[in-house]
Amino acid sequence: MTTDDRLRLLVIGAHPDDCELKAGGLATLYRNAGHIVKYVSVTNGEAGHQWRRPEDLAAVRRAEADDVATLTGVEYEILGNRDGRLLPTLDARFELIGLIRRFQPDLILTHRPNDYHPDHRATSTLVCDAAYMVIVPHIVPDIPALRVNPVIAYLSDHFQKPVPFQPTIAVDVEPVLERIVDQMECHRSQFFEWLPYTMCQEERFPTDAAAKRAYAKDFYYRLNGPLADRFRDLIVQTYGGERGNAIRWIEAFEPCEYGSPLTNEVKRRLFWMLPGQG
Using CB under 5 A, list all residues that contact Zn ion.
14-15, 18
Whichever of 15 and 49 has its CB closer to Zn ion, that residue is: 15
Nearest residue relative to Zn ion (C-beta): 15
Whichever of 41 and 149 has its CB closer to Zn ion, that residue is: 41
Minimum CB–partner distance for residue 87 and Zn ion (Å): 16
Minimum CB–partner distance for residue 63 and Zn ion (Å): 18
Minimum CB–partner distance for residue 111 and Zn ion (Å): 8
Whichever of 18 and 95 has its CB closer to Zn ion, that residue is: 18
Q: Do 253 and 153 meet the contact criterion of CB atoms below 8 Å apart?
A: yes
Which whole-number Å values give the CA distances from 66 to 37, 45, 114, 220, in the listed order? 14, 14, 29, 21
Minimum CB–partner distance for residue 165 and Zn ion (Å): 16
Residue 241 half-sphere exposure toward CB, CA atoms < 13 A = 0
User: What is the rounded distance in angstroms from the CA atom of residue 139 to the CA atom of residue 108?
Assistant: 20
CA 47, 51, 55, 57 dihedral sign is: negative
Q: In what order do the strands lie in the sheet with 107-110?
A: 75-81, 36-43, 8-13, 107-110, 151-154, 250-255, 169-172
Q: Do 165 and 155 meet the contact criterion of CB atoms below 8 Å apart?
A: no
User: What is the rounded distance in angstroms from the CA atom of residue 16 to the CA atom of residue 39?
Assistant: 9
Nearest to 224 by CA among 169, 272, 155: 155
Whichever of 14 and 26 has its CB closer to Zn ion, that residue is: 14
Whichever of 43 and 260 has its CB closer to Zn ion, that residue is: 43
